[in-house]
């Protein structure tokens, strides 16, 4: 691992109402200590309806967990029924926004161009995007995984300056590993994360490649976190199912203490 501080993020997807969310974050905070926050950045990404409640808990109890969102629109305001503007999130002290999750791409038809607009809008509002990429099982079996992921990275980050790329987060989430219990092997995950860093290096230069944090996501659990996090190009994890259990998520965050 280089000198990048790992970021471990809990993507709650469409789970937990605001009462459950408050309990969850209080339990998580109880399970973590300053020793964790010193070496790992932690973010939670609840549904939009929970954000204000979680913000209040984090700020009133001085909990150093970053508040995150799962999506946003790229426009600042307007006639976009059902959408949420990035400025609205920033106003609630949301600091990290997941953009282009494969569920958004596959289930809601989000295109690379839309992902790119969202990344730019998140940055323009002073927040950090987690730009997701990843291949399907068919693409992997056809040896197309690296090509697909490289193109997603180039398209999603198109038009950004090197210093912007250096400060953002890319999440590599193989679609076949999401919610299936089938994790990529640490070696396969490392190979793809290294390829992603290589694309960043060739397009935006060495400093951007050195700075950008690359998370792995897909069936991350307390038991497999140490091996995944031990890879030199993996700088954190984007956790779905296991982040809904405060104790299990705390085990992932404490990956360096296991074994």
User: What does the binding site for ligand 13P look like in residue numbers (CB under 6 A)?
Assistant: 11, 101, 173, 178-179, 217-220, 238-242
For ligand 13P, which is the closer residue by CB, 23 or 180?
A: 180
Q: Is 173 a catalytic residue?
A: yes
**Given the DSSP bridges, would you call strands 41-45 and 169-172 parallel, antiparallel or unpaired?**
unpaired
Closest residue to ligand 13P: CB criterion = 240
- In whole angstroms, what is the distance from residue 189 CA to residue 180 CA? 16
Relative orientation angle of helices 18-31 and 51-60, to the nearest 10 degrees: 30
Nearest to 10 by CA among 88, 69, 71: 69
Using left for φ > 0, alpha for ψ between -120 and 50, and beta otherwise, residue 245 falls in beta
Q: Is 45 a catalytic residue?
A: no
The sign of the CA dihedral 238, 240, 244, 247 is: negative
For ligand 13P, which is the closer residue by CB, 209 or 253?
A: 253
Q: Which residue is catalytic, options 16, 45, 73, 101?
A: 101
For ligand 13P, which is the closer residue by CB, 179 or 207?
A: 179
Element (H, E) at 239: strand 236-239
Q: Which residue is catalytic, options 135, 139, 173, 248?
A: 173
Shortest Cβ 206–ligand 13P spacing (Å): 29
Shortest Cβ 112–ligand 13P spacing (Å): 18
For ligand 13P, which is the closer residue by CB, 170 or 242?
A: 242
Nearest to 193 by CA among 165, 216, 220, 161: 216
Shortest Cβ 158–ligand 13P spacing (Å): 22
For ligand 13P, which is the closer residue by CB, 101 or 105?
A: 101
Relative orientation angle of helices 145-156 and 112-124, to the nearest 10 degrees: 40
Shortest Cβ 184–ligand 13P spacing (Å): 11
Shortest Cβ 220–ligand 13P spacing (Å): 5
CB atoms within 10 A of CB 81: 4
Known catalytic residues?
101, 173
């Amino acid at each position: 691992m280089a000198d990048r501080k790992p970021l471990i993020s809990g993507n709650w997807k469409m789970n937990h109402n605001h009462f459950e969310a408050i309990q969850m974050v209080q339990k998580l905070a109880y399970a973590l200590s300053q020793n964790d926050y010193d070496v790992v950045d932690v973010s939670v990404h609840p549904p939009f309806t929970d954000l204000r409640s979680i913000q209040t808990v984090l700020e009133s109890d001085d909990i150093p967990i970053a508040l995150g969102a799962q999506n946003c629109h790229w426009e600042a305001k307007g006639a976009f029924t059902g959408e949420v503007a990035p400025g609205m999130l920033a106003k609630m002290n949301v600091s990290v926004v997941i953009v282009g999750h494969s569920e958004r791409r596959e289930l809601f038809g989000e295109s690379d161009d839309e992902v790119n607009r969202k990344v730019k809008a998140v940055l323009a509002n002073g927040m950090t995007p987690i730009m997701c990429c990843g291949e399907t099982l068919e693409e992997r079996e056809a040896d197309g995984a690296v090509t697909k992921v490289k193109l997603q990275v180039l398209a999603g980050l198109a038009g950004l300056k090197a210093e912007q790329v250096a400060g953002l987060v890319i999440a590599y989430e193989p679609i076949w590993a999401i919610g299936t219990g089938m994790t990529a092997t640490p070696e396969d995950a490392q190979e793809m994360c290294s390829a992603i860093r290589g694309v960043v290096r060739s397009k935006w230069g060495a400093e951007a490649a050195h700075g950008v944090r690359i998370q792995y996501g897909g069936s991350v659990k307390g038991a497999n976190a140490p091996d995944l996090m031990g890879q030199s190009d993996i700088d954190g994890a984007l956790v779905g199912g296991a982040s809904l259990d405060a104790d299990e998520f705390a085990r992932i965050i404490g990956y360096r203490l296991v074994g």
